[in-house]
Structure 1
Amino acid sequence: MAEKKQNVYGATYTRLPEPQLSTELARLANPQAFGPTDVASLQPCPTPSERTQDRFVVAEWPLADGLWRFQAVCDGHAGHDTVDHVVATLPHAVQSALVARLAAGPPHSPDDVGLILRNAIADVDDGIAHDLLELFPGGPDAVASLSDDDIAAIVNDGGQNSAKILRCMRGSTVLVALISPALDVWVASLGDCQAVLGVKQASGAWEASVLSANHNGTDAAEVARIRSEHPGEDECVLRDRVLGAIAVTRAVGDFLFKLPTIYTTRIFMNARPGFQFSSKIADFLGRNLTPPYLSAQCHLQHVHVPALGGTEAFLVLASDGLIDLSGDTYGYDHREPSVGGKKWVEVLGRRDRSENAALYLIRDAMGQDEDAVSSLLTVEDFEGRWMDDTTVVVTQLQGAS
Structure 2
Amino acid sequence: MADKKFTADGAPYTVLPEAVLAAELARHANPQSFASTDVVSIQPCPIPDERTQDRYRVAEWDLPGGRWRFQAVCDGHAGHETVDHVVAILPGALEAALAAHLAKGPYTPSDVSDVLRATIAGVDGKIAQDLLDLFPGGVDAIARLSDNDITSIINDGGVNSAKVLRCMRGSTVLVSLISPTLDVWVASLGDCQAVLGVKQASGEWDATVLSTNHNGTDASEVARIRGEHPGEDECVLSDRVLGAIAVTRAVGDFLFKLPAIYTTRIFMNSSPGFQFARKIADFLGRNLTPPYMSAQADVQHVHVQGGSEAFLVLASDGLVDLSGDTYGNDHREPSICGKKWVEVLGRKERSGNAALYLLRDAMGQAEDPVSALLTVEGVDGRWMDDTTIVVTHL
TM-score strictly above 0.5: yes
Q: Match for residue 378 of structure 2?
A: 381
Q: Match for residue 391 of structure 2?
A: 394
| 1:71 lines up with 2:71 in the alignment | yes
Q: Using the TM superposition, give the Cα deviation of residue 298 of structure 1 relative to its aligned residue in structure 2, in angstroms.
A: 0.3
CA distance in 1, matches of 2:308, 2:364: 29
3-state SS of 1:135 partner: coil
Q: Match for residue 31 of structure 1?
A: 31
Q: Match for residue 144 of structure 1?
A: 143
Q: Match for residue 275 of structure 1?
A: 274
Q: Which amino acid aligns with 2:369?
A: A
| 1:208 lines up with 2:207 in the alignment | yes
CA distance in 2, matches of 1:268, 1:28: 34
Q: Which amino acid aligns with 1:56?
A: Y
Within 5 Å, give how 1:164-179 maps onto structure 2: 164-179=163-178
| 1:192 lines up with 2:182 in the alignment | no
Deviation by residue 1:72-130 (Cα, 9 ceiling, x = unmatched): 0000000000000000110011100111112112x111011111100000000000000
Q: Using the TM superposition, give the Cα deviation of residue 17 of structure 1 relative to its aligned residue in structure 2, in angstroms.
A: 2.0
Q: Match for residue 3 of structure 1?
A: 3
Q: Which amino acid aligns with 2:51?
A: R
Within 5 Å, give how 1:1-400 maps onto structure 2: 1-105=1-105, 107-306=106-305, 311-333=308-330, 336-397=333-394
Contact kept? 2:194, 2:210, Cα under 8 Å: yes
3-state SS of 1:117 partner: helix
TM-score of the superposed pair, with normalisation by structure 1: 0.97
CA distance in 2, matches of 1:339, 1:90: 30
Contact kept? 1:219, 1:335, Cα under 8 Å: no
CA distance in 2, matches of 1:25, 1:248: 29
Q: Using the TM superposition, give the Cα deviation of residue 336 of structure 1 relative to its aligned residue in structure 2, in angstroms.
A: 1.7
Q: Number of aligned pairs?
A: 394
CA distance in 2, matches of 1:83, 1:340: 25
3-state SS of 1:361 partner: helix
CA distance in 2, matches of 1:42, 1:382: 17
Deviation by residue 1:189-243 (Cα, 9 ceiling, x = unmatched): 0000000000000100000000000001111110111111111111111111111
CA distance in 2, matches of 1:134, 1:9: 49
- Percent sequence identity is 76
3-state SS of 1:144 partner: helix
3-state SS of 2:181 partner: coil
Contact kept? 1:332, 1:339, Cα under 8 Å: no
Contact kept? 1:183, 1:306, Cα under 8 Å: yes
Distance 1:243-1:334 versus aligned 2 partners, 3 A rule:
farther
Q: Which amino acid aligns with 2:187?
A: A
3-state SS of 1:342 partner: helix
CA distance in 2, matches of 1:327, 1:285: 33
- Where does structure 2 lack aligned partners over 5 or more consecutive residues? none
Q: RMSD over aligned Cα, in angstroms?
A: 1.1
- Where does structure 1 lack aligned partners over 5 or more consecutive residues? none
CA distance in 1, matches of 2:375, 2:116: 40
Q: Using the TM superposition, give the Cα deviation of residue 332 of structure 1 relative to its aligned residue in structure 2, in angstroms.
A: 3.4
Contact kept? 2:320, 2:332, Cα under 8 Å: no
Q: Which amino acid aligns with 2:176?
A: A
